[in-house]
Structure 1
C-alpha cells in the first residue's frame, strides 16, 4: 500500500520528507539504572519474575533513556494481545478474573484483569476488536490476536521518572508496508486501558501499537508496608525494587516513619505525588514511545531496518490521552508523526485573547481554561446544582446537596437566600462559566465520580508537592465503613494495579479530609472545619480553588505548574482530527477543543486540523448507569475518524471539513447494528447549517 506525506498546503507528494534518517542511538553502559541489577533489555534477580525476558534489545544500540524490561509472546488462542484470551464475547459476558493466590497474583493474571474492556453501547456489535473497522463486518476469532509484547521504561537514570511503554507487535505486522500507532493512555491508568477501544484498531491494520502511561500509571506506594508496584503490576518492597519501582515516594525511612506516626495508613500515588509534574512532558513521552517502537522493531529484525521515512506513524488518544496526542504533535518539530486523532482531548492552552468561540449568541473570548481552573470551579457548585436536577442520573447520591447550598449562602458564594434558589443559581453559574446547557443533567453524577480527587491530584502534581505535604488538608487512605482511615486490605493491595484508575477513589481507598473536626474522615462524608457541617468539605474545595486564583506561596507553585503544561496548538501542519461530545461535562468542549481549533488556525495556519463536534455525546462513553437512554458513546466516531485519517494518509482521501455531527438515541433495535444508536456519518460534504467555521482565530459553531 503506497504511503503519502502531507504538505502544509494540503497537497501530497511521495512519502515523507527526508527530515531524519534511521534512528541511531547510543547506550551509556554506566547508567545509574544498572545499580539496581537491571541491564538494557534484561532483568537480573526476581523483580519481574514470571515475565519472559527480552534477548533482542542487547544486540543493538538503545537510547540512553530506555530500559527494555521484558518480552512475552501470546498464541492468540489461550491468551492474546487484545482480549487476554477471553475473546470479546467473554469480556461482554463477564470473564472470570479470579486469582490462584489472591494475595500474590501473577503478572499474567494482573494483565488479564487490566485488559478487560467492559465497553459501552454497541461494543462488540458496531465497534470493537471483533468488528472490522473498515467494513463494519464481524471478524473471525472473536477479536483475539497473536503477537508479542515488550514492556519498557524511559528514565533519566534515577528510577524516579520510569515512564512506562508497552509495545504490541502482531504476528501480522507487515514490514513491507510498516505502520506504528502510538496510544498515550487516557486518565492516569495503567498501560492496558486503551487496548480494547483504540489499540485494537491499529492491530487490525497490521500495525505495531505502542502505549505510554505518560509518566502516570498505577504507580503506588503503600507507606505502611513500604511496598510498591513494578511495571508488570506485581508488588515488591520499595528497597528490593530500587529503580525498577514504578513509583516510590520521595521520603527517607525516618521521614516516612514520622509521617505514618502522625497520619497512619496513608498511600502515595505517582500522578499526585511524584513531584515531577508529569503532564508537562506528555508530548516528549509520546514521541519517545514512537522512538522506542522503532528501536525495538529494528532490534527484532536488524537485517530489515525501518526508519521514520518509510513507516506510517499515527497517534491516537482519548481524554488525557487525546491531550497527550496533541501535545506530541506540538513537540514533534522533526515530522516524525504523520497523523493525529484525538477524542475529547484534555488539553490546556497558553492564554490568548485573539481566540474567540461563538455558538449562536454565546461568544467566549480566549483560549479556554486549564483543567484545575474548571475542576476547582466545578467542585464548588456541582453539589448544590444537583439539587436543581433531581431527576438526573445519580442525583440521589449527592446526599448533602442541600447542606452545600446552605454553606454557599452563608459564605456569600451565591446571591440566593434559599436552598432551591441557590441550586438554580449554582447551575446557572456553571453554564455561565462555560459548561454547555446539554451538560445540565450530568453535574450530579459527575460530582459523584469524584472531581475533588482529580482536582487534588492535579494540584499536588502541578505544584510538585509530596504525599507528606497533604495539600489543603487532603490525603489518601483506605477507609472503613465510617470513613475512617485503616490499613489497606491485603487482597486490595495485591490487585491495585489492575483495579485503580491511577489514584483515588478505588475500592476502599479514597480521599481523606484530615481537617474534619471529628478527625480524619473520607472527604465525601466529612465535615468542613469552619462550620462542622457535612457539606462535602466546602473549606477544602475553597482551598483548592485558591491555588488557582490566589497569591499564596502554594498557589504560585501550582500556577507555575499550570503554565508548564500549557500548549500553543502549533501542530506543524500535521493532519489532525479532534472528535468531541457537546455534552461533555468532564472535559467541556468550550474549554478545550473549540479554542484549540482557533489557536491552531493562528499559530499553525496549515488548515490541517478538523473538529467533529458530536451532539448527545458525553465523556464516559454512555456506559454509566442512567446514561444509555440519553447519550451515544464516542467510540464509534473515534474509530471512524481513525479510518478517515488512515485513508487520508495512505490513499490521499480528503478529510471532511469541521462540522457538527448529530447522533442520537432512537428506537430499540432500529439503529446501527441492531442497537438504538442512530449514528450519521461524518459527512464528506456536510449541510451548510452543520459546518464549523474558523477564520483569524474565531471559531463559529452552529447550534
Structure 2
C-alpha cells in the first residue's frame, strides 16, 4: 500500500497526518509527514502553553491531545526543575521568563529510512526567533526507548531558547506497539489504526503474516509486540547513523524553508542526549567522518565500549582492568542478585515493595548461586557479588528501585532486539501482554492502548502491560507474580533470569546470535577531536559509570591521546532517573542541572573559544531532611562545574588509564 493511499483511508488517519506538498520534494530516505505552526500562546514548541485536558474521545485521542499528554510531565520543583533551571528559567539571569518560557515556531514530523527497512521518527522544531546571525542546530537522540516528544522539555528547549533549530530522533525505537489480537498499531503521531489500514504510516507492525499471527495468538492470546524489542533490525547498530541522518534532514528542511543559506560551514551543530540518547550522541560523534558535528554532550550515556586490555580504571586504591561491560551483561547480572541484595539495606527507597526477595535468596542458594546458609548472609553475599562485579558502593541504596524499574523486562527487550528475534520467538519464555489483578494475560483495555504513545517508554512495563513468564507451570503470569518451574517458588522467575544471563555470556546458538548483534555497535572512543563533555552520576545503578563512561574515557585517551577534547564530569549523589520521591529526595541531586551546564560550556567553547573544564568529580550536597519533606534544592547543593578543578577533585587520564579520586 502506498503512503498516499494510506493517507486517504478515512478521517481517523487523514485528520492527523495530512501529507504536505513538501513531502514529494524530500531527499531520498526521508518522508515528511506533517508541518504544524504554534503561536506560543495557545500552544508552543516546548508544551508549556497548553495544559493537557481529558481526551474528547478516550478511545480515539487525536494527535494534538496525545502530543500534549506526552509533554505534560514535569519534575518536582523542590528538586530545582522550573525553579533553578529548566525550560521556564532564563539561564542567563536565573529568573523565570516573563512568558513562562513558551516558544512559538514550526514543527515538522518525518521518517528517515535506514538499511533493511528500518525507519526512525524525526521531529524538527524551528523557533520563530530562529537565529541567522549565529546559525545553530541542536540534535537530540531520545533517552531510553521513548517517543519523539520526550526530551523537548529536558534538553530540546535549551536550543530553542537560543534560536537554534532542534532535531530529535527516536533512534529506531520509540513507542511502536502492535496489539496482535485486534491487529491495531500506533502511527508516527501516536494515534492508532488497524495495521491493514495504517500501511506506511505504522510506526511498527510486527513482521508476521496473517497466518503466522493467527497461529501465534491461538497458542499465546492477547500478546503485544513492541518495536524496541521485535523489529528484527537491531536498531542500536544504527544509532549513530540515525543521528547523522536527522542532522542531514534538518539541513535540507531548513534550506527548503529558507531558500538556502544553511551549511555545515556556517552552522554550529551540537548533539546532546541522555542515557540511550547519550550513547547515541557518542556513537554519532564516532561515525561523523564528514564534519557535520561540532560538539557533543552525553548525559549518563548508555554506551557499550569495545574491550581492550590496555584500559584500566582506578578509583582511589581500587583498580579494574578492561572494566567495560555491555548493557545485557550488567543488566542480567543485576537481575540475578539485586532482589536478594535488597534485604541487605531494608531502609532503602522502595525496599518494602520487593516482596519476594526472600524467595529469590532461597532459590539462588538452592541453585548454587549463593553459599550463605541464612537469609541475612544471602542478602549480604548478593550485595558483595554486585560490588565484586564492579558496581560502586553508592548504588547499594538503589537495588530495590533498580530492580522494580524492570531489568528483567529491559534485558528481555534488548536480548530480543540484539538477536533480531521476532515476537513469535518469546525469547527465554518471555512475552508482553496486559494482565488482570492475578497477573494473567487479558485483552488490553482499548482506552489504554489508544494512549500508549503518551504513556509508554517504548515498551513494557506500562500501565497494565507487563512482562509475562510463559513458562509458569500454572500458565502464563506476569513475571513478578510467576513461579519458576525449577524451584517451585514465586522468586521473580529465577529460571528466566538465568536464561537471560546465558544469552549475555553463554555459548548457545541463541547466545552467539545475541552477542553477534552486540558486536555490531561497540564503541572505540574516537571522537575525531570534537569538543565533548560526558556527565554521569556516581550513584547510577541503571547505567553504572564503571561499565560505560569511565572505560569510554579511557578508550578515547588511547585513540586520540593529547588531541582529545573529551571531558568527563562525575557527579556525586546523582542517580540515573532524577527521582525526587520520598527517600530519593533526601539523598540525591538532579543530574539534569549538570547536563544543561555542560551544554552551556560546549556552546561557549564553540562560539568564544572558552576553555573546556578539566575532568573532575563534582562534590554535591544532598538535600537531607525527612523523606517526603526534604528542603528545596538550593545552589549550595549543586556547585558549578569548575574550569580548573581542585587537585582533590581532579580525574587524571593518560593513555588508557583513568584515575578517579574517592
Compared CA separation, residues 261 and 271, structure 1 to 2 (3 A): same
Q: Unaligned 5+ residue runs, structure 1? A: 1-34, 87-94
State the Cα distance separating 1:337 from its structure 2 match: 0.2
Q: Is the 8 A contact 2:234 2:517 kept in 1?
A: yes
* CA–CA separation in structure 2 for the residues paired with 1:677 and 1:634: 15
Do the aligned residues in 1 keep the contact of 2:52 with 2:72 (CA within 8 Å)? Answer: no
1:276 aligns with 2:233: yes
Which residue number in structure 1 is paired with residue 90 of structure 2? 132
Which of these residues, 162, 166, 191, is aligned with residue 148 of structure 2?
191
Change (3 A) 1:234 1:52: closer
- CA deviation vs aligned residue, 1:581-625 (integer Å, no higher than 9, x gap): 000000000000011100001112322000000000000113344
- Answer whether contact 2:84 2:94 (CA < 8 A) is retained: yes
Q: 2:101 aligned with 1:143, yes or no? A: yes
Aligned to 1:374: 330
- CA contact 1:56–1:299 (8 Å) conserved in 2: no
Structure 1 residue 361 displacement after superposition: 1.4
Contact conserved, 1:57 with 1:296, CA < 8 A, in 2? no
Q: How do 1:308-457 and structure 2 match up within 5 A? A: 308-457=264-413
Q: Name the counterpart of 1:678.
A: 637
Q: Tell me, yes or no, if the aligned pair for 2:52 and 2:65 is still in contact at 8 Å.
A: no
2:473 aligns with one of 506, 509, 517: 517
1:488-516 superposed Cα distances (whole Å, 9 cap, x missing partner): 00110110000011000000000000000
Q: CA offset at residue 155 of structure 1?
A: 1.8
- The separation in 2 between residues aligned to 1:140 and 1:250, in whole angstroms, is 50
* Partners of 1:467 and 1:219 in 2: CA distance: 13
Residues 419 and 194 of structure 1: is their aligned pair in 2 closer, same or farther, counting only changes over 3 Å?
same
CA distance in 1, matches of 2:581, 2:388: 26
Distance 1:351 1:462 in 2: 18
1:544 to 495, 500, 505: 500
Task: Structure 2 unaligned segments of length 5 or more: list them.
Answer: none
| SS of alignment partner, residue 85 of structure 1 | coil
In structure 2, the CA distance between the partners of 1:56 and 1:242, relative to structure 1 (3 Å rule), is closer
Alignment of 1:510-659 (within 5 A): 510-605=466-561, 606-659=563-616
Q: Deviations over 1:186-221 (max 9, x none)?
A: 000100111111000000110000000000000010
How much does 1:422 deviate? 0.7
Q: Residues 67 and 603 from structure 1, CA distance in 2 versus in 1: closer, same or farther, beyond 3 angstroms?
A: same
Deviation at 1:56, TM superposition (A): 5.8
> Could you list the per-position Cα deviations for residues 113-137 of structure 1 after superposition, in whole angstroms to 9, with x for gaps in the alignment?
0112322411110111111123322
Q: Which moved more, 1:612-621 or 1:147-156?
A: 147-156
SS of corresponding position for 1:110: helix
Task: Give me the whole-angstrom Cα distance separating, in 2, the residues matched to 1:676 and 1:653.
Answer: 23
**Contact (CA 8 Å) 2:336, 2:498: kept in 1 or not?**
yes
Residue matched to 2:429: 473
The answer to which of 76-85 and 453-462 deviates more is 76-85
Runs of 4+ in 1 over 6 A off after TM superposition: 671-674
- CA offsets, 1:640-669, max 9 Å, x none? 000001000001111111000111124779
Show CA shifts across 1:513-562 (max 9, x none).
Answer: 00001110000111101121000000000000001121111011001011
Q: Is the 8 A contact 1:384 1:401 kept in 2?
A: yes
1:153 aligns with 2:111: yes
SS of match in other structure, 1:148: strand
Number of aligned residue pairs: give it. Answer: 655
User: CA distance change for structure 1 residues 554 and 52 in 2, over 3 Å: closer, same or farther?
Assistant: closer
* SS of residue in 1 equivalent to 2:90: coil
Distance 1:568 1:494 in 2: 41
CA distance in 1, matches of 2:269, 2:114: 25
RMSD value over aligned CA atoms?
1.8
